């Protein structure tokens, strides 16, 4: 389908500017924003489940992958109850879709993100930032995640590019 306002050159220019801003860890190229997150995915085959399909021994995670992103974090919210203090935080991670396609990785609900000495579990997924309203030009993937306690079972170091 020919595009009237956003041609291939325009899309390539947008892609180039975003790569300069975010950086590319697969070629050790730091960007201007230079913010990274480490994504850990649950290893379904290595996680042992009981007869109810629950991971009673804890989940096993694959090796982490370092990804460039833009982070929008809310303030900490502290809760005090009979069990002691607990903190909560909601964070949005925005990824460039073209880069995720290049490294063959897409964040999913249930994945763990490591950022700022905290671990966040993805609970929402949004992929509707379209360039020029064209469905073929999805620009970014934005995930929302909540602060969780550090997973204790087989959380390996990240895979460096």
For β-strands 158-159 and 64-68, DSSP reports them as parallel
Number of compact structural domains in the chain: 1
Q: What confidence score (pLDDT) does residue 153 get?
A: 46
CB atoms within 10 A of CB 85: 8
CATH code assigned at 42:
2.40.10
In a domain, residue 140? The reply is: yes
Tens-binned pLDDT, residue by residue, of the chain (161 aa): 455 666 777 777 777 777 777 777 666 667 777 788 999 988 888 877 777 877 777 788 888 888 888 899 888 888 887 877 778 889 999 998 888 888 889 899 989 999 988 899 999 988 877 776 666 667 789 999 999 877 654 566 655 54
Q: Where are the beta strands (DSSP E) in the chain?
A: 23-24, 29-30, 36-40, 64-68, 70-73, 77-81, 84-88, 90-96, 112-115, 118-130, 138-148, 158-159
Tell me if 7 is assigned to some domain. Answer: no
Which domain, by its residues, includes 39? 35-154
Question: What's the pLDDT score for residue 15?
Answer: 75
């Amino acid at each position: 389908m020919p595009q009237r306002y956003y041609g291939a050159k325009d899309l390539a220019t947008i892609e180039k500017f975003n790569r300069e801003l975010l950086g590319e860890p697969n070629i050790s190229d730091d960007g201007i924003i230079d913010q990274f997150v480490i994504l850990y995915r649950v290893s379904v085959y290595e996680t042992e489940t009981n007869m109810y399909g629950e991971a009673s021994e804890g989940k096993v995670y694959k090796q982490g992958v370092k990804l460039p992103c833009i982070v929008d974090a809310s303030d900490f919210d502290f809760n005090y109850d009979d069990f002691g203090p607990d903190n909560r935080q909601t964070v949005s991670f925005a990824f460039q879709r073209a880069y995720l396609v290049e490294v063959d990785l897409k964040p999913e609900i249930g994945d763990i993100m490591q950022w700022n000495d905290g671990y966040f579990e993805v609970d929402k997924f949004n992929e509707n930032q379209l360039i020029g309203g064209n469905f073929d030009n999805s620009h970014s993937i934005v995930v929302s995640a909540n602060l969780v306690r550090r997973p204790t079972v087989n959380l390996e170091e990240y895979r460096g590019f």
